[in-house]
Structure 1
Amino acid sequence: MTATITTQNATVPEPGQFPVLIEHEARYADLDPSRRIGREALVRWFEDARVAVERDAFGADLVARLQSRVRLLLAAIRVDVLAPLRVAGRYRIGVGVSHVGTTSFSYRYAVFAGDECVAAGESTSVHTDGTAPSPLPDEVRAALSGLRVDATASGRPDRGGERLVRENYPFRYDVRTRFTDLDTNRHVNNVALAAWYLDGIAELHQDVLGYPVGGPLDGLSPSSLSVQYLDQVHYPGIHTLRVGVAEIGEDTVRYHCGLFDGARCIGLAEAEGFHHAPGDDGDPVRLAEALAPFRMKD
């Protein structure tokens, strides 16, 4: 079962809306335990598409990045799974620029199987001088203007004061940074960080279900994930990932997550998915009542 999440735009994206369409072949390594393309794999697909567009549009290849001629940091990303993505077949990733600001700009993404949109997303990148946001160079701004696509931004996870307080999240999951999590900037890559939040939610499900063999049920995996990167995460280090239940609806549950270095919040996430799914014996497993004690504290 895959939770149906409504996209933040009035209509489901179509291929013709995007100025760039990139062919992308799914890999076996992209599959999660449900035998479908995992959410963190989609974050990686969007990263691959973003890097390809920036290399071709304004020369932001690896050399330019390493020489600090172009400094872009990902500030936020959102992924919505609209239909099951399987390893068989090829996909197209639509990419367009939905907003250009003074120091940042946003992309809109869509994944197509044929002409059917099976996933959508958006991200925001910030241009920096190495220590703080800085104005986008004129050549970058000009290149981005040729990639515009109409879109309505969904906004980032709520940054209210209560979201920055570690003790407001009832569930705790400790994460040790691995060397293989690092990227060329020598901090933890955004894809790895997105996977940390998914791991934290899975650990909560494991705790509620009594640690079943093989992990929590496939139908409980979030179909919507939104991440905001507040600060860089370095190696080595042990960080605390906190999870709380923000809202329990008739069929779905919305989670709030926070990543902490000591008491300092360095990342936020929101996720949404079903709180019930078919069990191995065919009877439904329902978590709404069991998740209630994990509601966010006021």
Structure 2
Amino acid sequence: MTASLSSQSNVEPAAFPVLIEHEARYADLDPSRRIGRDALVRWFEDARVAVERETFGADLVARLQSRVRLLLAAVRVEVLAPLTVAGSYRIGIGVSQVGTTSFTYRYAVFAGDDLVATGESTSVHTDGERPAPLTDEVRASLEPLRIGVPASGRPERGEARLVRENYPFRWDARVRFTDLDTNRHVNNVALAAWYLDGLAELHADVLGYPVGGPLDGLSPSTLSVQYLDEVHYPGIYQLRVGVEDIGEDTVRYVCGLFDERRCIGFAEAEGFHHAPGEGGDPVRLAEALAPFRFKA
């Protein structure tokens, strides 16, 4: 796997061809009073849509007339420092890789000149049914956005991750009408939030379902999602969670989203397995999470 953007300590706003001012909203906050991971996925979507509108006219009319058909295949977010609702941020966006049918954006969130979060997403060009080669027009439009930062890679896709029973923990997700986007299927941000909800349900189960939910410090600092198929309304889907690895301080989770037995998406996440309790003493979950090991 190539080095992530966050590993480069000298990354500055000037490294990105496009910088977008973004005000934090109260609705972006999670229970920790910080900007939530799903909110950052939405920020990246806002930046991506703005860039595509300006770059090759990928507005709603263009999409409906089939001039540009792009579907999100994967997204990743990594929080490097707490993001608060106070102040404004700048989102840097550039294209790090262009393939035959897809291309990859890299994102960076700056508070002043300080890098506080990074991200990545892969968009696939389709003919309406399957991946299709990028047109020369789209390729030419992407060139001014190129940035010399390698892609960090998608979540590992192995046969074991496609098997529903390999994930010990189950949470059922019911699609809400408000989860849908203009393509009439569940939006990528809503799906990212489902994985975060699944992890929170696991933590709450281990903690005994405390009032107000699990401890703030247990939220993952990284989340990588890969979308395999569309999720439709109405419907109830199974989200499965397993613990892949437990280290000295952190835990790595794997998640799968299933329509019956068919895997339609999966994710990886990493965060701490301990956090300060209400009395100030740390609450440690490593031992309690061990029975939820992913059955590789």
TM norm. shorter chain > 0.5: yes
Q: How does 1:21-170 map to 2 (within 5 A)?
A: 21-170=19-168
Structure 1 residue runs of 5 or longer lacking an equivalent are 1-5
- 1:109-133 C-alpha deviation (Å, 9 max, x unpaired): 0000000000001010000000000
Output the CA distance in 2 between the equivalents of 1:201 and 1:99.
31
SS for the counterpart of 1:86 is coil
- 1:131-174 C-alpha deviation (Å, 9 max, x unpaired): 00001111110010110011121211111000000000000000
Contact kept, 8 Å, 2:69 with 2:125, in 1: the verdict is yes
Contact kept, 8 Å, 1:220 with 1:276, in 2: the verdict is yes
Contact kept, 8 Å, 2:97 with 2:104, in 1: the verdict is yes
Aligned partner of 2:281: which letter?
A: D
- 1:72-127 C-alpha deviation (Å, 9 max, x unpaired): 00000000000000000000000000000111000000000000000001010000
- 1:52-83 C-alpha deviation (Å, 9 max, x unpaired): 00000111011111222110000000000000
Match of 1:272 in 2: 270
Match of 1:172 in 2: 170
**How many Å apart are 1:10 and its aligned residue?**
4.0
Identity %: 81
Aligned partner of 1:127: which letter?
A: H
Q: How does 1:231-250 map to 2 (within 5 A)?
A: 231-250=229-248
- Aligned to 1:11, which of 4, 8, 13? 8
Output the CA distance in 1 between the equivalents of 2:190 and 2:181.
10
Instruction: Provide the TM-score with structure 2 as the length reference.
Output: 0.98
Output the CA distance in 2 between the equivalents of 1:9 and 1:101.
23
Output the CA distance in 1 between the equivalents of 2:144 and 2:60.
22
**How many Å apart are 1:8 and its aligned residue?**
4.9
SS for the counterpart of 1:146 is helix
SS for the counterpart of 2:214 is coil
Output the CA distance in 2 between the equivalents of 1:221 and 1:282.
18
SS for the counterpart of 1:53 is helix
Verify: 1:289 aligned to 2:292, yes or no.
no
SS for the counterpart of 1:16 is helix
Output the CA distance in 1 between the equivalents of 2:171 and 2:6.
34
Output the CA distance in 1 between the equivalents of 2:63 and 2:31.
35
Contact kept, 8 Å, 1:175 with 1:238, in 2: the verdict is yes
**How many Å apart are 1:7 and its aligned residue?**
4.1
Instruction: Provide the TM-score with structure 1 as the length reference.
Output: 0.97
Displacement over 2 Å in runs of 4+: 6-10
Contact kept, 8 Å, 1:9 with 1:151, in 2: the verdict is no
Output the CA distance in 2 between the equivalents of 1:78 and 1:158.
13
Match of 2:209 in 1: 211
SS for the counterpart of 1:216 is coil
Which stretch of structure 1 is more off in the superposition, 196-205 or 56-65? 56-65
Output the CA distance in 2 between the equivalents of 1:66 and 1:111.
31
SS for the counterpart of 1:192 is helix
SS for the counterpart of 2:145 is coil
Output the CA distance in 1 between the equivalents of 2:6 and 2:34.
25
Which stretch of structure 1 is more off in the superposition, 240-249 or 59-68? 59-68
- 1:188-207 C-alpha deviation (Å, 9 max, x unpaired): 00000000000000000000
Output the CA distance in 1 between the equivalents of 2:42 and 2:107.
12
Q: Indicate the RMSD between aligned Cα atoms, in angstroms.
A: 1.0
Q: How many residues align?
A: 293
Structure 2 residue runs of 5 or longer lacking an equivalent are none
Contact kept, 8 Å, 1:9 with 1:152, in 2: the verdict is no
Output the CA distance in 1 between the equivalents of 2:257 and 2:242.
12
Output the CA distance in 2 between the equivalents of 1:154 and 1:92.
21
Match of 1:197 in 2: 195
Contact kept, 8 Å, 1:31 with 1:38, in 2: the verdict is yes
Output the CA distance in 2 between the equivalents of 1:138 and 1:76.
23
